[in-house]
Amino acid sequence: MLKLDKFKRISADKMSLHSYLCSMQGLIADIDLLEEEKKQSESCEYKTTEDDDSLAVRKLYIESYGCQMNFSDSEIVTSILKKEGFGTTSSPEHADVILINTCSIREKAEQTVRNRLNFFNGVKKKNREVTVGVLGCMAERLKSKLLEEEKIVDLVLGPDAYRDLPKLVKKAEEGEKGINTFLSREETYADISPVRLNSNGVTAFISIMRGCDNMCSFCVVPFTRGRERSRDPHSIVQEVQDLFNKGYREVTLLGQNVDSYKWSAEENNKARLNRKNGVDEIVNFANLIELVAKVSPDLRVRFSTSHPKDITDEVLHTMKKYENICNYIHLPAQSGNTRVLELMNRTYSREWYINRVKAIREILGDECGISSDMIAGFCSETEEEHRDTLTLMDYVKYDFSYMFFYSERPGTLAAKKYADDIPLDIKKKRLQEIIEKQREISLERNQANVGKTYKVLVEGKSKRSVEQMQGRNSANKVIIFEGDVAAGSYVNVLVTDCTPATLFGKLQ
């Protein structure tokens, strides 16, 4: 059995990383980028609950996989069950309820979950009373099939059904299996304050919307997380204010496509009319990041994930207006070729994407950090079209990227319409070329930072040595420096050296 330190994020069985929402934080450490990214496209990151110091009799153990949205959902689930008197534990052997919050973005992600369920089977043999539940995208995709296929599973809940947990846990403890995979058009869990898990006490993630209305042909998210709905901006600002009061100094606003965030008082029957002229209160993404930035100039604001077809100049100008809105954008391209982008149903062309990058460079300058997602070997992609992806990377000069080869997902448009006809060895060869290209560009971009001084938000001790501290600059780059300063403080660091993944510097 893997002994997990309280805050440890560890790589485990093979799985995907779609959601870059993966916590972009700390994944690309200061080991060889090539090695790291090869690992990324084959492995997974997961988090577990910790031992809390509550005297709660009943204990909850959650294992969360996949994207940051899932990690944030596990914080909401913990909050819902804490209200029912549960404490948390870092060990499934000590739990009364074991929950696994799953990802379904690639076949390997689901295989990981089945392997873990095998392990929990052993736990259940020793403790027959324990309730085992599967949450998240795999639960939503497979529904009752999961109860049929995995006998130890007592509960199956989709991402919009977590309010039903207390009732279904109770039924399961009375011997009745339970399922709820209803996808909602309203649910945003806006009134539930998440219990922060695996927190460094400095940075936190806040989901501002759920679901996705885009129908990228390779993606399962619209089927597993449902239609898009934006959360009440006032509940978001309140959560940000609470975090700031607790000492957090950075928030990342989360959504599958944050640029389509739009909240209207009228549509949400809030009837909160603008006192001045009685018109509806409508809040778009540019308005929202401004509201959050105004909480305090000492609070850094980040967001993910942007969508090339929806990112507006209004958002870019708002970023420029506030020093505390970080100078970094995650803008997944997926491919550099317009025909392949059409097959992916990304709804923009190579030219459109390049024009968005031009706008970012014109308004936010060359220091603005840009990262992407790239898929190698999508259905019918030619060698020449693959080269378009490499030349797009040369044009944009991404600071880093999440890179995968195409993995067909059941039920997606691509699986229904296109043959997965690129041989695996070609997919891997193209992925390798993309990884090596990114490595060169990341090194070049980081070398351009050497000799410059950056304002760094200190996150804590570096993983490399207790003599060193770790933090990030506004462009979301990890900076390691000697010294001993408080986590959550801002310092100026002169960059003296770098690798493709990390900057090293001196306190100023």
**What is the binding site for ligand SF4 (CB under 6 A)?**
212, 214, 216, 219, 221-222, 256-257, 307
The 3-class SS string of 240-259 reads HHHHHHCCCCEEEEECCCHH
Query: Tokens standing for 129?
Result: 């009373």
Beta carbon nearer to ligand SF4, 59 or 330: 330
Query: Tokens standing for 478?
Result: 């990890």
Beta carbon nearer to ligand SF4, 180 or 257: 257
Beta carbon nearer to ligand SF4, 263 or 402: 402
Q: How far is the CB of 18 from ligand SF4 (least distance, A)?
A: 7
Query: Tokens standing for 281?
Result: 């209160």
Q: How far is the CB of 221 from ligand SF4 (least distance, A)?
A: 4
- Residue (of 330, 324, 293) closest to 311 by Cα position: 330
Beta carbon nearer to ligand SF4, 6 or 227: 227
Beta carbon nearer to ligand SF4, 81 or 212: 212
Q: How far is the CB of 105 from ligand SF4 (least distance, A)?
A: 9
The 3-class SS string of 344-357 reads CCCCCCHHHHHHHH
Asked if residues 88 and 50 have their Cβ atoms less than 8 Å apart, the reply is: yes
- Residue (of 103, 118, 98, 117) closest to 43 by Cα position: 103
Distance separating alpha carbons of residues 382 and 161, to the nearest angstrom: 42
Beta carbon nearer to ligand SF4, 165 or 344: 344
Q: How far is the CB of 347 from ligand SF4 (least distance, A)?
A: 9
Q: How far is the CB of 17 from ligand SF4 (least distance, A)?
A: 13
Query: Tokens standing for 313?
Result: 């100049």
Query: Tokens standing for 361?
Result: 């460079």
Distance separating alpha carbons of residues 460 and 482, to the nearest angstrom: 12
Beta carbon nearer to ligand SF4, 259 or 459: 259
Q: How far is the CB of 219 from ligand SF4 (least distance, A)?
A: 3
C-alpha distances out from residue 325 to 289, 297, 316, 367, 475, Å: 8, 9, 10, 14, 10
Q: How far is the CB of 257 from ligand SF4 (least distance, A)?
A: 5
Distance separating alpha carbons of residues 324 and 301, to the nearest angstrom: 6
